[in-house]
Structure 1
């Protein structure tokens, strides 16, 4: 859905001169089935027409390229009168909520996407401006502010793709680094410093991109190297422990047995017996 949303937002921003911003009528009483949320939102008609009960009685139809700005806690009651497509954008405190809806006359299709709100509070100040415009509507200023708000949403959405890509690349780079330097006394803090990130963010990357946490991954990499050395070399267990980053060989033996259910010496004998048999 991200690519679709990005295309839609980009088109709306590029065609900003065609946007017409509207506001609900505050004097209309809230009906029983009205929809409202504790966050401000934009209701945008992409295709077709939509009837909105919250608009003045003489102009209840929202048409393509029209945008309804709804303040936090205010209601709307849309009615599908024919085939149409809409985009709703909810501005939560910590995330943006996107909802694409398409009514073909028989069936309603809905797609949703959430994006974290990061960076400067540009969106918050633009929403404050729209709240002021609600008091004394100015079509030109409203269109410019909504266009800027849509551009901000697009930036947050594209930024998500970049953050996901960076996070995945960083995760792979950290994995490679651990495998290449496993004989060193690595810690979460030392690896985080190497990549100029915080230890908590390093843990977050492993939780999000990997199947195990940082410490468990490092231990598994070290044990795989230890198994390889035990199978193919006549090194002492203490030497293997040090080659795999374990300072204390007794601790290495305990960890090895916990993961393999055999001591290092038993594992070596088992592998060699299997090779000979």
Structure 2
């Protein structure tokens, strides 16, 4: 049992249940893991990538060496405080990184909305935002839970549905207005996602609209 306001440092890995109420910080090779437990139950866990300068590694090494020097407890306390400050910096960095990623994702979404009729590709959009195509795909999977091409298709089809509802345009013109160069491909894709052809979708929408009047 750890008394209140006390800490245990172990250089041999994770401690199992150091106290029924405790905050544990585990420095893994790749991840910093922070766990809060109450009544021996894990109530919260945070994980942050350990990246950047090897500040944490040097502090941990110093703390391990100080374990064998009982007369250096004041120094050990200063090292622990520096280590906690380093943890705070890692957490803050992760939050800012997540915020920047979200902002970039939203900016790309707006770009697709505004340019969905253009010949967009993963490569061209990535180039427009100065990121790699692989990072662009990662961003959509991580934040949007959707692939880039799938999102682009969904956006174009949604605009096509709006045009079918509100305008008496030819199918090939609607396809072109939504970024599809091949109207036959557009019709196949539309049927795949709606189980109706564009013409059937339009007729059904207007029939339901008349029935409601």
Aligned to 2:45: 113
Taking only aligned residues, the RMSD between alpha carbons, in angstroms, comes to: 2.6
Matched, 1:235 2:175: no
In 2, Cα distance between equivalents of 1:143 and 1:255: 64
Equivalent pair of 1:115/1:156 in contact (CA under 8 Å): no
Structure having the higher helix fraction is: 2
Structure having the higher strand fraction is: 1
Matched, 1:256 2:190: yes
Aligned to 1:67: 7
In 2, Cα distance between equivalents of 1:258 and 1:143: 64
In 2, Cα distance between equivalents of 1:73 and 1:158: 25
TM normalised by structure 1 equals 0.66
In 1, Cα distance between equivalents of 2:144 and 2:190: 22
In 1, Cα distance between equivalents of 2:120 and 2:173: 18
Pairing partner for 2:88 from 125, 131, 154:
154
Question: Based on CA coordinates, which of the two structures has the bigger radius of gyration?
Answer: 1
Runs of 4+ in 1 over 6 A off after TM superposition: 74-77
Q: How does 1:34-49 map to 2 (within 5 A)?
A: none
Q: CA shift at 1:149, angstroms?
A: 1.0
Q: Which runs of 5+ in 1 are unaligned?
A: 1-49, 51-61
In 1, Cα distance between equivalents of 2:44 and 2:150: 35
- Provide closer, same or farther for how the CA distance between residues 163 and 259 of structure 1 changes in structure 2, counting only shifts above 3 A: same
- Provide closer, same or farther for how the CA distance between residues 267 and 77 of structure 1 changes in structure 2, counting only shifts above 3 A: closer
Aligned to 2:205: 271
What secondary structure sits across from 1:66 in the alignment?
coil
Name the count of aligned residue pairs: 209
- Provide closer, same or farther for how the CA distance between residues 151 and 75 of structure 1 changes in structure 2, counting only shifts above 3 A: closer
Q: CA shift at 1:219, angstroms?
A: 0.7
Equivalent pair of 2:187/2:197 in contact (CA under 8 Å): yes
In 1, Cα distance between equivalents of 2:52 and 2:5: 28
In 2, Cα distance between equivalents of 1:260 and 1:74: 52
Aligned to 1:128: 61
- Provide closer, same or farther for how the CA distance between residues 216 and 199 of structure 1 changes in structure 2, counting only shifts above 3 A: same
Pairing partner for 2:23 from 62, 74, 87:
87
- Provide closer, same or farther for how the CA distance between residues 72 and 275 of structure 1 changes in structure 2, counting only shifts above 3 A: same
Q: CA shift at 1:162, angstroms?
A: 2.2
